[in-house]
């Protein structure tokens, strides 16, 4: 399956390009970027063709792997789906519900396969934890936090879209995806902001469990880290932090996307519809945070 890579930034270089080049049955044939030199350099490293024109880029591939900011991803992925390309998307799939809905509509109309790279959902140790969560059952709730330091000056992930949208939209999707998979679909969210980009979310899950998560990208490095556990009759079960090897996890996501595309199968637990559902939770949380910051009642 011929894949095009959209994006030439740090994440594309350390995760997407190596994963595409090391995954069986997947070939990195094209690289698109607004920066012609960066596209040429990345493409040359992988014997792929660089593109500046998006239509020419899409014309020669079967599938597209995205490593661009979420608002740009939503627009480009909608175009790619309309042209019949399978999609390996990044989280969040969009920055608005309208853009996420438009993307889902394009994917469904074209009948293409999609997978969203919620990293921890593709790690074997997290999948084993989720299987144990399901096998034990009887969970009353979950407690979690991802305190990131990406907005620190020297961090390679200190990018404009993260500065604009903060931890809610960057690490929030990972936490919502994990709590959703372990405790059931999220039916409502209550959100309250803390200092800087700190966001506290209370989630209600279908079935009655409730969970909390705190997310930020502004933590001091000494405080940074991830933790999550579910609790219930049988005690607590802590989620593994997971390896920091995104290439292997992304390889799994690519294999599953390619297998679905070949089988004509469009559904996946982390497909674009799930990505859109997570955006709905984020957008509602953002509305409440904006209202609270502006001193308005949020309901």
Ligand X SMILES: NC(=O)c1ccc[n+]([C@@H]2O[C@H](COP(=O)([O-])OP(=O)(O)OC[C@H]3O[C@@H](n4cnc5c(N)ncnc54)[C@H](OP(=O)(O)O)[C@@H]3O)[C@@H](O)[C@H]2O)c1
Query: What residues form DSSP beta bridges with 202?
Result: 190, 212
The verdict on 90 binding ligand X (CB under 6 A) reads: yes
Secondary structure class of 29 (helix, strand, coil): strand
Burial 227-240 (b: 16+ CB within 10 A, else e): ebbbbbeeeebebe
Q: And the tokens for 92?
A: 């969040």
Across-strand partners of 115?
88
Q: Is 154 helix (H, G, I), strand (E, B) or coil?
A: coil
Which residue from 3, 4, 5, 8 is in contact with ligand X, where contact means CB under 6 A?
A: 8
Site for ligand X in 125-144 (CB under 6 A): none
Q: Return the axis-axis angle of helices 124-136 and 172-183, rounded to nearest 10°.
A: 40
46 binds ligand X (CB under 6 A): no
Rule CB under 6 A: say whether 161 interacts with ligand X.
Answer: yes
**Separation CA 177–CA 162 (nearest Å):** 19
Q: How distant is the alpha carbon of residue 37 from its chain centre?
A: 27
Find out whether 3 and 26 touch, Cβ atoms under 8 Å: yes
Nearer to ligand X among residue 151 and residue 189 (C-beta) = 151
Q: Are strands 86-89 and 114-116 parallel, antiparallel or unpaired?
A: parallel
Stretch that binds ligand X, among 44-52, 62-70, 181-189, 201-209 (CB under 6 A): 62-70
Cβ neighbours around 121 below 10 Å, total: 25
Stretch that binds ligand X, among 51-59, 61-69, 183-191, 226-234 (CB under 6 A): 61-69
Q: Is 18 in the site for ligand X (CB under 6 A)?
A: no
Task: Give the dihedral of Cα atoms 290, 292, 297, 298; nearest 10 deg.
Answer: 50
Q: How many CB atoms lie within 10 A of CB 178?
A: 26
Q: Which of 1, 40, 72, 255 lies at the binding interface for ligand X (CB under 6 A)?
A: 72
Instruction: Tell me how far, at minimum, the Cβ of 295 lies from ligand X, in Å.
Output: 30
Of residues 215-274, those binding ligand X (CB under 6 A): 246
Task: Choose one: 21-29, 57-65, 158-166, 286-294; the region binding ligand X (CB under 6 A).
Answer: 158-166
Q: Residues with Cβ < 8 Å from 187, sequence gap 6 or more?
A: 204, 205, 206
Question: Which of 116, 209 has the CB closer to ligand X?
Answer: 116
Among 26, 48, 67, 191, the residue binding ligand X under the rule CB under 6 A is: 67
Show the site string, 182-221: x = touches ligand X by CB under 6 A, - = not: ----------------------------------------
Q: Which stretch binds ligand X (CB under 6 A): 153-161, 179-187, 203-211, 232-240?
A: 153-161
CB 107 → ligand X: shortest distance, Å? 17
Of 79, 155, 159, 248, the residue at the interface with ligand X (CB under 6 A) is: 159
Q: How far apart are CA 48 and CA 254, in angstroms?
A: 18
| Residue whose C-beta lies closest to ligand X | 9
Decide if residue 289 touches ligand X (CB under 6 A): no
- Which of residues 167 and 209 has its CB atom nearest to ligand X in the complex? 167
Min dist CB 142 to ligand X, Å, is 20
Task: Spell out where 131-268 has E strands.
Answer: 139-147, 186-193, 199-205, 210-216, 225-232, 235-238
Smallest gap from residue 89 Cβ to ligand X (A):
8
Cα–Cα distance measured from residue 107 to residue 261, given in angstroms and rounded to the nearest whole number: 12
Binding site for ligand X (CB under 6 A): 7-11, 33-35, 38, 67-70, 72-73, 90-91, 117, 119, 157, 159-161, 170, 246
């Amino acid at each position: 399956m011929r894949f095009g890579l959209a994006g030439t930034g740090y994440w594309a270089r350390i995760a997407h390009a190596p994963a595409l080049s090391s995954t069986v049955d997947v070939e990195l044939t094209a690289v698109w970027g607004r920066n012609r030199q960066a596209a040429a350099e990345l493409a040359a490293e992988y014997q792929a063709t660089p593109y500046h024109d998006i239509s020419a880029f899409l014309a020669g591939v079967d599938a597209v792997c995205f490593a661009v900011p979420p608002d740009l991803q939503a627009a480009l992925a909608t175009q790619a789906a309309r042209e019949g390309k399978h999609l390996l998307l990044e989280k969040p799939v969009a920055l608005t519900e309208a853009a996420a809905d438009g993307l889902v509509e394009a994917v469904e109309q074209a009948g293409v396969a999609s997978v969203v790279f919620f990293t921890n959902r593709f790690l074997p140790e997290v999948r084993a934890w989720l299987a144990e969560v399901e096998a034990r059952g009887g969970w009353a709730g979950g407690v979690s936090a991802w305190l990131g330091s990406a907005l620190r000056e020297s961090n390679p992930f200190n990018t404009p879209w993260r500065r604009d949208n903060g931890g809610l939209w960057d690490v929030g999707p990972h936490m919502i995806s994990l709590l959703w998979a372990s405790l059931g679909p999220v039916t409502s969210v209550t959100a309250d902001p803390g200092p800087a980009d700190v966001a506290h979310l209370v989630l209600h899950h279908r079935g009655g469990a409730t969970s909390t998560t705190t997310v930020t990208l502004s933590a001091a490095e000494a405080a940074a880290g991830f933790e999550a556990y579910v609790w219930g009759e049988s005690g607590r079960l802590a989620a593994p932090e997971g390896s920091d090897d995104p290439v292997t996890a992304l390889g799994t996501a690519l294999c599953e996307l390619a297998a679905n595309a070949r089988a004509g199968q469009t559904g996946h637990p982390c497909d674009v519809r799930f990505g859109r559902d997570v955006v709905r939770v984020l957008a509602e949380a953002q509305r409440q945070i904006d209202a609270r910051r502006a001193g308005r009642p949020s309901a």
